[in-house]
Structure 1
Amino acid sequence: MTDWIKSNERRIGTVVGDASTDTYTFILKSFSAKLGDIVATPTDVPGHAGTYGAIIWGRVVGINRVNPFFPAEAAQELSEQDINLLDTVLSTTRDYLQAEVLILGATKNMDVTNLRLSPVTYPVKPSAGVFSPPAEAIRVLLTGGDNNQVKLRLGTLIGRKDVDVSLQANKIVSRHLAILAMTGGGKTVAARRVLRELTAINYPIVILDPHGDYLAFFEKRRELGGVDVKLFYPAIRVYGSDSGVIEELIAKMGHRLTDPQKDFFQTVVAQTNLEPGMTAERYIAELITTCGRLRDGGGNGGDRLNALTVNAVRRSLDFVRRALNSMQTNNERLMAQLKPKGYAFTELPDPQTSPDEIVRPGRISIIYLAGFDHLTQSAIASIVIEHLFAHRAKLTDRIAPFLTVIEEAHNFVPGRREGTEDTPSLATVRKVITEGRKFGTGLMLISQRPARLDETILSQCNSFLVLRLVNPKDKNFVRSVMENLSESDANILQTFGPGQGIVSGQAVRFPLLVDIDFDEDLVSEAIGDEDFVKKAKDWSPDPVREEIASIVDEVIPPEPPASPATKRAGKRAPLPDVTFNAGTRGGKPNGAGKRPRA
């Protein structure tokens, strides 16, 4: 038996009460262990050739403090009568700590250089000693003694700062990872830690960034060892005579064309001139012009079906054109704000014709989606992921295996209760997360509202990093999709501090409470939390704008209120035109997410 098992210095308690093959309870020596600590108990178990010595490994999942000589009735009396405890004969020194252990497995071999876990088939003996293993023994236990696998350092055990916690890199990039936490729980800290480790091995990374949370990777690229970081803004161009990209945009952002509409659309394409490399919005504008020309000068005006078909195609094209124009306007506005801070943006290459410009070993490609409405973000994500996955699925070796990071995943893969008809990325991600591991297309989903995620997609993630969660719906949902999350683990989710959490799944051998390393050198210095209180305090109206407004009021006086006679007549003012991104209604831009009717 190993020396640390014999040593009384490592003994922290004694098994008591009923013990099973899943859990046991022990009396804990004061200040000898904390919640989440790994403990070991030697015992004899039956085998084919008689009994043999084994070590039962477990994790402390609960600690209770008990004093049988200080009953609740006594505490009530002291409180009611304002009696000092020192003036009584009650004992305060006979309390003890009772710890509950969740069994992780057993090892036959006492040699700590090669600890391989097996299922526990025989309970530990009451009165058996419980020991706190040395750091080296726990490290070997966590890795299984296999030092050939590539590891990604995550942090340390919460209870043991001398024990590193690492993730198996291959399980992360092929079997998918979900990072879940409430706002301020440390999602970005955890994602930044994992991505930094992946950049150290030059693994290709594609990030869909809806809020600019990952722009710091560009700002701090020197700290990443010279990693090639690209900031891409969405742009869609059309090459050759293929109209497939436009049909794809219509299907994802507008209304899927019927067979007669597709036939008419192909006629429109055939009669529209295309300059190779033309932007999609400009090409669509040309297609709309051709639609009008064919409607006015071609076809039988009395053919109602033909008229409906022409108008349906034209409306779908116009809807997509407005969305792309809004996207272009947002691109220019946002980049103008960030350019003075040192950020350099590049137009997103075509994921179908130039995927190797997006996916490349040693490169982080950040697709900046801030400022776009939900439907546009989802459509862009769907197109990019779909085409990159297609290149991997065809096994053409055009691009290397890669990992896609989806921030605010509940907006891209919402659950059934959230409404999915206006989220084209849902079907795409569902396909990739189901088949991606066969083709080296991994996903990292990050969300602060797990209960709003698609349950099927989240259950396909083989590894989870769950940080602070308080919302009961989120905690219950996480328990429903994580097979190895115990009730006691779920109960401590709300007690975590920033950057603390539970990691479980195939990336680790068993669930662990982890304190994630904080990469302070990767925190942005140019972008941070805005001080809106100070902005409101220092705000003053623009005198030029005020003067212009007063002139407008003089030239165009406001309309007088409607007369009672007008109101009785039921006359109403004409409604304004609905545009893709003008104003809001019900929390969405007017027209956003609304598909044109055929």
Structure 2
Amino acid sequence: MKHNPTHIGQVESVSGNSVTIKMASSYPSNMPIIEGTVYRIGQIGSFLKIPLGYANLYGLVTQAGVMAMPDALLMAYKENPSIVDGHRWLQMILVGEQVGSNFERGVLQSPTSGDQVHLVTNDDLRVVYGGYNAQSSIVIGNQSASEGLEAQLDLDKLVSRHCAILGSTGSGKSNAVSIVMKAIAGKPLPSARVLMIDPHGEYSSSLRGKCRVFRVGANAAEGEEELCVPYWALPFRELMAIFPGKLSDQNEDYIRGKVLSFKRASAIGLGGLRAESITADSPIPFSIAQLWFDLDNFERTTFRADRITPETLTTVGDPATLTSNQYPIAGLGASAPFLNQKAKGILGFLDGMRSRILDQSYSFLFKPNGYTPDLNGVVPSDLPLLYSTWFGHGFPISILDLSAIPSEVMQTIAGCILKLTYDALFWGQKTVVGGKLQPLLIVLDEAHTYLKAGEESISSRTVQAIAKEGRKYGVGLLLVTQRPSELDETVLSQCGSIIALRMTNSRDKGHVVSAMQDELREMADVLSGLRTGEAIVSGEAVRIPSRIKFFQSNSSTKSSDPVASKLWANPSPNVATYETSVRNWRNQSFN
């Protein structure tokens, strides 16, 4: 019989879907040339094939060398190294089966000892990696095993089953996100919806022409729009958390009751709402200026000798400007005027509340353009217009740039945006803008900053809810982080697909491997040796676990490393440049 150059050895032992292979001692080279192509035998993550009649079983190499021997033989080898007799060893896991021209993940049959093992050629790889539906797949790069083969993802599984892109700083994570987003935006899908939470403003430049950017201090010349997050749409507890200071449980309930009464009064004007369904968390407009004024007035009121009639005002306040009513100062002892004995003692909290409302860096929240209620709770524009602005601008991607939001409330704001979006899709699930009829992919960049393990924040609670229930309502997650060890394990375990770029931290690697399917856990050590832009992709978005190389984005993200050797060669800047920097700082603007 003519020697088959792809034949490299035979099956020695099988345990579950793990196969130990003894390579033929007579095999001429670890780098055979077959039909003009050079192949490397024993590369971790490469494929091997076991023909079984009309079927071919495919497996991924997970171990090579002496340690790949069966345990019993390994023990004997330690006593007598000559027992190996020139043979080399590989270990692989079975991942799929080909019958005819069709390849499917998983295997129906197992090999037995003595079955022949072959190299996987480029023709075989086309069968393994091919077969994606052109409408429902995106191309993001090339296969590392053969750069002539495209790396594809199943778009439907990517969105509906959640995904995580994980990698250390400098591994090519931001480029990977940009490539995935461009691939989605490049499909002829006029109703595609992607909402990207971008805490550092990294992606507006790399996705220009495919997205609409919403940010505080928007540059209209660049096509950006002002980011508005109406305070009255926030849940009550998160709204109170925006203000400095602490409230006792009793005082929190007291203010909650006031907010509820304001919202019920506003609901009458909106019409069509059931009074019993309205709570302090309901997204109904009300005037926070009027709320502050009423609370502040109650605390400052002094009374005449009958202790019932309020004293005459010395200065008339104005809720529109957050100016307090002033009353005569209470007398000493038993002399009038008298203090309000029912006051709650929250003037300190109200002072902090006032300063926060007047703070210009919080205007996007307390004075959102078009969404600020008057003193009676009437708004020019309501939430339907806000959602339409976010998702109805004609681009597939909406970037909410949070870089200009004060850091102390960024986590809360991100969580509230997610909750507002998810609640709207949940309650609108039977409409054409609901997630079931128009799915939404939510991309969370730097997810570890507002999704920390064990934290009871609104962002953590909302993301957990989306991870567990979102697929039922057409809401998918794409988590992007360099610190997977800080993520909530429940959320990471719900990700049906994992795209793991280079990672060197042992704790982070451990979390990535625990989220992967069991058979791939032996490949953990490969993560630290990946090239920049290279990743191991596993899960439901790929037909088979793959090692891929992402395309390089034409326009880099803002997170790209500056080239010090070139930039330091420029002339030193003059004083005027620092004047611009300080003016921007004082104006809280880059313009």
TM-score range, shorter chain: 0.5 to 0.7
- For 2:360, which of 322, 325, 329 is the aligned residue? 325
Structure 2, unaligned stretches of length 5 or more?
32-38, 68-84, 215-223, 271-283, 308-337, 367-380, 580-584, 587-591
1:378 and 1:467 map into 2 onto residues whose CA distance is 26
Alignment CA distance shift 1:267-1:356 (3 Å): closer
User: Equivalent residue for 1:167?
Assistant: 153
The residue identity in structure 1 corresponding to 2:432 is D
1:95 and 1:232 map into 2 onto residues whose CA distance is 69
The answer to whether the aligner puts 1:397 opposite 2:426 as a matched pair is: no
Structure 1, unaligned stretches of length 5 or more?
1-5, 44-51, 67-93, 332-348, 546-580, 583-598
- For 2:228, which of 212, 232, 235 is the aligned residue? 235
Give, in angstroms, the shift of residue 61 of structure 1. Answer: 2.2
- For 1:259, which of 246, 253, 259 is the aligned residue? 253
Give, in angstroms, the shift of residue 237 of structure 1. Answer: 4.1
Give, in angstroms, the shift of residue 516 of structure 1. Answer: 1.3
CA shift digits 1:132-174 (9 cap, x unpaired): 2333x3333335x453661111222212212222111001111
1:57 and 1:138 map into 2 onto residues whose CA distance is 10
User: Equivalent residue for 1:213?
Assistant: 202
User: Equivalent residue for 2:344?
Assistant: 308
Assess if the C-alpha contact under 8 Å between 1:232 and 1:368 holds in 2. Answer: no
CA shift digits 1:529-587 (9 cap, x unpaired): 38598499936767999xxxxxxxxxxxxxxxxxxxxxxxxxxxxxxxxxxx99xxxxx
SS of residue paired to 1:432 = helix
- For 1:134, which of 101, 122, 126 is the aligned residue? 122
- For 2:398, which of 365, 379, 394 is the aligned residue? 365
Aligned residues: 465
Give the share of equivalent positions with the same residue, in percent. 22
The residue identity in structure 2 corresponding to 1:38 is F
Assess if the C-alpha contact under 8 Å between 2:105 and 2:544 holds in 1. Answer: no
CA shift digits 1:188-246 (9 cap, x unpaired): 1111111111112332111111112101145x42xx5xx666644433347xxxx5548
Alignment CA distance shift 1:542-1:42 (3 Å): closer
The answer to whether the aligner puts 1:458 opposite 2:492 as a matched pair is: yes
SS of residue paired to 1:164 = strand
The residue identity in structure 2 corresponding to 1:355 is Y
2:150 and 2:577 map into 1 onto residues whose CA distance is 59
CA shift digits 1:406-458 (9 cap, x unpaired): 11000111112xxx25x421111111121111111111110000101111111
Alignment CA distance shift 1:104-1:530 (3 Å): closer
Alignment CA distance shift 1:7-1:438 (3 Å): farther
Alignment CA distance shift 1:10-1:366 (3 Å): farther
SS of residue paired to 2:114 = coil
Give, in angstroms, the shift of residue 358 of structure 1. Answer: 1.0
The answer to whether the aligner puts 1:407 opposite 2:437 as a matched pair is: no
The answer to whether the aligner puts 1:39 opposite 2:71 as a matched pair is: no
2:230 and 2:569 map into 1 onto residues whose CA distance is 40
2:563 and 2:363 map into 1 onto residues whose CA distance is 25
The residue identity in structure 1 corresponding to 2:439 is P
User: Equivalent residue for 2:316?
Assistant: none
Give, in angstroms, the shift of residue 525 of structure 1. Answer: 9.1
Alignment CA distance shift 1:156-1:328 (3 Å): same
User: Equivalent residue for 2:421?
Assistant: 388
Q: Cα RMSD between the aligned structures?
A: 4.2
Give, in angstroms, the shift of residue 261 of structure 1. Answer: 2.4
User: Equivalent residue for 1:23?
Assistant: 19
1:542 and 1:409 map into 2 onto residues whose CA distance is 38
Residue range with higher mean Cα deviation, 349-358 or 425-434: 349-358
SS of residue paired to 2:14 = coil
Assess if the C-alpha contact under 8 Å between 1:261 and 1:313 holds in 2. Answer: no
Give, in angstroms, the shift of residue 98 of structure 1. Answer: 3.4
SS of residue paired to 1:35 = coil
CA shift digits 1:506-539 (9 cap, x unpaired): 111332111111122x325998738598499936
Give, in angstroms, the shift of residue 380 of structure 1. Answer: 1.9
Residue pairs, 1:192-591, within 5 angstroms: 192-201=178-187, 202=189, 203-218=192-207, 220-221=208-209, 231-237=224-230, 243=232, 245=234, 247=236, 249-254=238-243, 258-265=252-259, 284-285=288-289, 287-297=291-301, 306-308=342-344, 310-311=346-347, 314=350, 317-318=353-354, 320-321=356-357, 325-328=360-363, 353-360=385-392, 362-394=395-427, 395=429, 396-398=431-433, 400-416=438-454, 420-421=455-456, 423-484=457-518, 486-520=520-554, 522-523=555-556, 529=562, 534=568, 538=572
Residue pairs, 1:42-191, within 5 angstroms: 42-43=51-52, 53-64=54-65, 97-107=88-98, 109=99, 111=100, 113-126=101-114, 128-135=116-123, 137-143=124-130, 145=131, 147=133, 150-191=136-177
TM-score, scaled relative to structure 1: 0.67
Alignment CA distance shift 1:258-1:511 (3 Å): same
The residue identity in structure 1 corresponding to 2:388 is D
Residue range with higher mean Cα deviation, 52-61 or 243-252: 243-252
CA shift digits 1:456-498 (9 cap, x unpaired): 1111111110111100111112222323363331111100111
SS of residue paired to 1:212 = coil
SS of residue paired to 2:343 = helix
SS of residue paired to 1:40 = strand
SS of residue paired to 1:198 = helix
The residue identity in structure 1 corresponding to 2:440 is F
2:497 and 2:419 map into 1 onto residues whose CA distance is 23
Alignment CA distance shift 1:270-1:467 (3 Å): closer
The residue identity in structure 2 corresponding to 1:22 is S
The residue identity in structure 1 corresponding to 2:114 is P
Give, in angstroms, the shift of residue 383 of structure 1. Answer: 2.1
Residue range with higher mean Cα deviation, 162-171 or 393-402: 393-402
